[in-house]
Amino acid sequence: MFILRSIFVDPWPFWAGGIIIGLLVPLLYYYFNTALGVSTGYGNLVKIFLPAKNLQWIKTKYAETFSWRVYFIIGIILGGLLSAILSGNLGITTEMGRFTAIAGWPGVLNAVFFFVGGILLGLGARIAGGCTSGHSIHGIANLHISSILATIFFIIGGIITANIVRSLFLGGAW
Amino acid sequence: MDKKLGFLAFGVLFGFALSRVGASEYDLIVGMFIGQDYTLVGVMVTAIIVGALGMQVLKKFAQPVKSGEPLKVSYKELKKWSIPGGLIFGFGWGITGACPGTVLAQIGEGKIFGLFTFAGMIFGTYIYARLKEKQPDL
């Protein structure tokens, strides 16, 4: 079954992923009049996991704790799980590509490294008003200036730290 | 369609696509930033083009929104903090090799360190909420 294998087992070509992800933008407007976006839902997670109920921003913006944004987040996790199950790649792993392969750090340091990077992602997304899905895909597809500008600086930031990490911790290899 | 169930279903599709195309791979995201692998540039450019064309088609519909209400495209206004915010986000993107959507697919696939990126993102959002108490225009 070539077609099933192409969908569920083999990695997709870039355009296949691009088409599905791009179609989400008009589809979410058609069904729910809602913009594609993931990072705003992390505010719901703050309300769920951290003592933040009295913070003004959480109170006003996240009146409903378990809103559709939480369901979207759960769905994306399940999508990754489904992909791993169907392609036979499911398994709990402490690998993170060439980073864990080359840097060879103890697990605790790796955890701190990714946690600190995560803080920058969460903080930056809120200050910039969106992330790769909300700004870079949804926003640029709608030709929003703020999204084009934000995306340019997302990329500049990524180039800076990825190259620093590469030369400091990955020995410039790769 | 119930909005919560609908987003759950579209989330599954989104996560599945991110995972299948390799967007949940550290090597592909960081590889893009160090000029070694442009797969994800192709994914993003295709998604933007398809999204833009899709929005144009949608606007031609007599009823662009299924329920019949007028189409309301969400616009994020440009603020003085947009550029530093974008840079901070980018720093995190280049360090973790993940973004707020792809880290979720990583977790689904069983990548343990994705959980730390995810926890950091929640904490970073919490820091934002605290900063915003003192700096309302953030």
Residues A68-83 have pLDDT tens digits of 999 999 999 999 999 9
Helix intervals (H) in chain B: 3-21, 26-33, 39-60, 82-96, 102-109, 112-134
Which whole number is the average pLDDT over A103-122?
97
A79 and A123 in a single domain? The answer is no
Question: Residue A1: is its pLDDT beyond 80?
Answer: no
A77 and A108 in a single domain? The answer is no
- For residue A82, CA distances in Å to A8, A41, B101 come to 9, 22, 15
Which whole number is the average pLDDT over A18-30?
98
With a CB cutoff of 8 Å and minimum separation 6, the contacts of A109 are none
Mean pLDDT, rounded, of chain A: 96
Domain containing A111 equals 96-174
A88 and A14 in a single domain? The answer is yes
A68 and A148 in a single domain? The answer is no
Question: Residue A89: is its pLDDT beyond 90?
Answer: no
Buried b (16+ CB within 10 A) or exposed e, A118-129: bbbbbbbbbbbb
Residues in chain B within 8 Å Cβ distance of A79: 11-19, 105, 108
Question: Residue A48: is its pLDDT beyond 90?
Answer: yes
- Rg (chain A; Cα; Å): 19
- Rg (chain B; Cα; Å): 18
A3 and A85 in a single domain? The answer is yes
The C-alpha atoms of residue A77 and residue B104 are separated, in whole angstroms, by 5
The C-alpha atoms of residue A132 and residue B129 are separated, in whole angstroms, by 20
% of chain A with per-residue pLDDT over 70: 99
- Name the domain count of chain A: 2
Residues in chain A within 8 Å Cβ distance of B22: 11-12, 17
A136 and A83 in a single domain? The answer is no
CB–CB of A83 and B39 under 8 A?
no
Last-in-domain residue among A92, A127, A160:
A92
Interface test with A, best of B25, B36, B48, B63 (most A CBs within 10 A): B48
Q: What region does A102 belong to: left with phi over 0, alpha with psi -120 to 50, or beta?
A: alpha
CB B20 within 8 A of CB A5: no
A104 and A159 in a single domain? The answer is yes
- Residue B86 has its nearest CB partner, among A29, A76, A153, at A153
Quickly state the pLDDT bin for A2 (edges 50, 70, 90): confident
Give pLDDT, residue B93.
98
Distance (Å) from the alpha carbon of A16 to chain B's nearest alpha carbon: 8
A145 and A80 in a single domain? The answer is no
A21 and A71 in a single domain? The answer is yes
Question: Residue A173: is its pLDDT beyond 80?
Answer: no
- Residue A128 has its nearest CB partner, among B18, B20, B86, at B86
| Tally of residues, chain A | 174
Last-in-domain residue among A51, A69, A92:
A92
Quickly state the pLDDT bin for A141 (edges 50, 70, 90): very high
A87 and A136 in a single domain? The answer is no
A3 and A88 in a single domain? The answer is yes
Nearest CA in chain A to B82: A128
CB B129 within 8 A of CB A43: yes
A135 and A155 in a single domain? The answer is yes
CB A77 within 8 A of CB B105: yes
CB–CB of A118 and B117 under 8 A?
yes
Last-in-domain residue among A53, A75, A92:
A92
3-class secondary-structure state, position B71: coil
Q: Can you read off the two tokens belonging to residue A148?
A: 């084009």
